[in-house]
Amino acid sequence: MGVDGREGESATARGTGAGRDEFDAGRSFPEAGERAATLDLPREELDALAAMFQGLATEYMRAPAAAPVFPETSAEQLAALLRRPLPEEGSGLEALAEECRAVVVNSRANNHPRMFGYVASPAAPVAVLAEWLAAALNQNVTSWRSAPAATEVERTVVRWLAELIGYAGRGVNENCGGLLTGGGSAANLAALFVALRARAGAEDDGGAGAISRRGLWGAGAAMTLYASEQVHLSVPKAADLLGIGREQMRLVKTDESFRLDVRALREMIEADRHAGLRPFCVVANAGTVSTGAVDPLEDVAGVAREHRLWLHVDGAYGAPAAAAPDKRGLFRGLELADSVALDPHKWLYAPLGVGCLLLREPARARAAFAGTGGDYIEVFERDEDEAFAFWDYGPELSRPFRALRVWAILRYYGARRVAAAVSEDCALAAHLAELVRATEDFELMAPVTLGICCFRYLPAGAQRQLESAPDDEAREQLNRGLDELNARLLHRLQRGGAAYLSNASLRGRFALRASVTNFRTSRRDLAFTLEAVRRAARAGED
């Protein structure tokens, strides 16, 4: 099984009958005097460069806390250090090494154990090294004929990811498939495009063919989609990019745990139907970006089925937690989704640049993306697997070998060890919430579901003032003051280098947000971080 659900088909009739040509292996290219300009390097020079890059990369990986989380620098200093005119002549190894070192020490350290901002994980060492190999191979993973092994690796990785999160298994979504993308935003965009085409209706009603030819002007009534108000910004952006329109993206209210309110969803869909609109898709969150909330997937799937809507699950951040035995229950119903986005470059510790779109029926993607012509990419292979092309399933033609880094992680560590790391990240976020609850100068701002803990700093007396505020207006004013204080201290903390948090806006309130997706973080780092927050707050009082 792969992107087009090919499992079970016989492997006979493979197109290997063509004769093999002679090839002059063993010769170096070009030989001396054959070509004037080459970028090839003599062996010693290549080895010296390899040692330099390897040394920098392994040193960085071996000492994750050696430098501050955020470098002590400024845009002006960096420009002075790195901005140069186009070099007419090459620098040689020493100067290149020095500038690479400057890049290392002036980067935010996403591998630091106290890096809790956004969703930034350290890259697993084996995947970093696999990246090097992938770059050397420089496969263009358009199709089997351009990248035979890389295509097989990608299709296998897609299957592994589907199994890892419980989207596929024995008797479950046997024919699912998908492809790797540049990230979660790209996966969400592609999913909505497929959903739009799959639910466009009959041709005479402005169906998929009419939309493809004439654009959404050919679609008849406006098509609407639904997601909770906690949806990631990439989804409304996709609605905009696809010409659906941001106003046709309905934001459904959430409950006290920031989970989509299913009753409100049903009411909105019914009201839109009544008004003559065409609801076509619901996006459920499997780990919201702000708090890690997981929508009630099974109930949302029920509504989607009732109204024939495409169900897309955005698990870009949270889906890997479905591999953790203690979190699996939260994801019941995930297997009912028509499509799922998940990001190996977030919580599977892959280096950046790899997301994944899973589809229950890959043929839906083919129907949406294939058939756009282009004689020069003609495939001559006849065997189904060898004729396979990713360009029929997504928007990209040239595609990098994204799969090797994910393959290396799952192959080398195994799914169990990766799931254990995710599970421990979740336990650490829960521990941070306990630390926050146990103090008077911090307040927990949202329940901890997965690996995200949102809280705020309260200066002495603030809690009492909030409790005794005479009315809502007075409380609002106090809260606004706390929003400003926390925003200021966050900036100070981020630039201070001891620890790095980001922020979330929760029901209009400013929260400090710690996302633990880091196999290096320990309990000690959490306590240290709360101290660093206190120090940043006190520094503002001076």
Ligand X SMILES: Cc1ncc(COP(=O)(O)O)c(C=O)c1O
Interface with ligand X by CB under 6 A: which residues? 119, 183-185, 188, 232, 234, 289, 314, 316-317, 343, 355
Alpha carbons 536 and 491: distance in angstroms, whole number: 9
Query: Could you say which DSSP state residue 167 is in?
Result: S
Structure-block tokens of residue 135? 């770059």
Minimum distance of ligand X from residue 183's CB (angstroms): 3
Give the SS3 label for residue 434.
Answer: helix
Whether 170 and 176 have beta carbons less than 8 Å apart is answered as no
Backbone angles phi, psi at 114, to 5 degrees: -110, 30
**Least distance CB 372 / ligand X (angstroms):** 24
Residue pointed to by tokens 């990001």: 343
Minimum gap (Å) between residue 353 Cβ and ligand X: 9
Pick 121 or 479: Cβ nearer ligand X? 121
Q: Which pair of structure tokens corresponds to residue 152? A: 């097989």
Least CB distance to ligand X at residue 343 (A): 5
Of 68 and 451, nearer to ligand X (C-beta) is 451
Specify the DSSP element, H or E, that contains 358. Answer: strand 355-359
Min separation Cβ 497 and ligand X, Å = 23
**Do residues 280 and 195 make contact, with C-beta atoms less than 8 angstroms apart?**
yes
Give the E-state strand segments of 71-111 in sequence order: none
DSSP β-ladder status, 452-457 and 502-506: unpaired
CB 425 within 8 A of CB 451: yes
Q: Measured from the CB of residue 171, what is the shortest distance to ligand X in angstroms?
A: 29
What DSSP letter does each residue of 268-289 carry, written as one string? HHHHHHHTT-EEEEEEEEBS-T
Q: To the nearest whole angstrom, how small is the minimum distance from the Cβ of residue 282 to ligand X?
A: 15
Of 120 and 216, the one with the shorter C-beta distance to ligand X is: 120
**Count of all residues that appear for the chain in the document:** 542
| Distance separating alpha carbons of residues 310 and 479, to the nearest angstrom | 40
**Smallest gap from residue 188 Cβ to ligand X (A):** 6
- Name the minimum Å distance from CB 68 to ligand X: 23
Q: Which is nearer to ligand X, 68 or 315 (by Cβ)?
A: 315
On whether the CB atoms of residues 438 and 453 are closer than 8 A, the answer is no
Q: Supply angle C-alpha 392, 393, 395, rounded to 5.
A: 90
In the bound complex, what is the minimum distance in angstroms from residue 500's beta carbon to ligand X?
A: 15
Residue closer to ligand X by CB (options 139, 291) is 291
Q: Which is nearer to ligand X, 316 or 340 (CB)?
A: 316
Please report how close the Cβ of residue 87 comes to ligand X at its closest, in angstroms. 33
Q: Which amino acid is at 187?
A: A
Q: Label each residue of 179-247 as H, E or C.
A: EEECCHHHHHHHHHHHHHHHCCCCHHHCCHHHHHHHHHHHCCCCEEEEEECCCCCHHHHHHHHCCCCHH
Q: Which residues contact 118 (CB under 8 A, 6 or more apart)?
A: 502, 515
Amino acid at 348: L
Spatial CB neighbours of 375, under 8 Å, sequence gap ≥ 6:
none
> In the complex, what is the shortest distance from the CB of residue 164 to ligand X, in angstroms, rounded to a whole number?
18
Between 333 and 355, name the residue whose CB sits nearer to ligand X. 355
Cβ contacts of 387 within 8 Å, gap of 6 or more: 144, 145, 379, 381
Supply the angle between the helices 403-413 and 415-437 in degrees, to the nearest 10.
Answer: 90
How far apart, in whole angstroms, are the C-alpha atoms of residue 135 and residue 128? 11
Nearer to ligand X (CB atom), residue 188 or residue 479: 188
Q: Which is nearer to ligand X, 394 or 496 (CB)?
A: 394
Alpha-carbon gap, residue 159 to 168, rounded angstroms: 8
The residue among 495, 514, 516, 493 whose CA lies nearest residue 503 is 514
State the nearest-atom distance from the C-beta of 50 to ligand X, in Å.
30
Q: To the nearest whole angstrom, how small is the minimum distance from the Cβ of residue 41 to ligand X?
A: 35
The nearer residue to ligand X, 293 or 324, going by C-beta atoms, is 293
CA 510, CA 454: separation in Å to the nearest integer? 9
Task: Specify the residue, 1 or 293, whose C-beta has the smaller distance to ligand X.
Answer: 293
Nearer to ligand X, 113 or 318 (CB): 318
Based on CB atoms, which residue is closest to ligand X, 181 or 224?
181
Q: Which of residues 141 and 187 has its CB atom nearest to ligand X in the complex?
A: 187
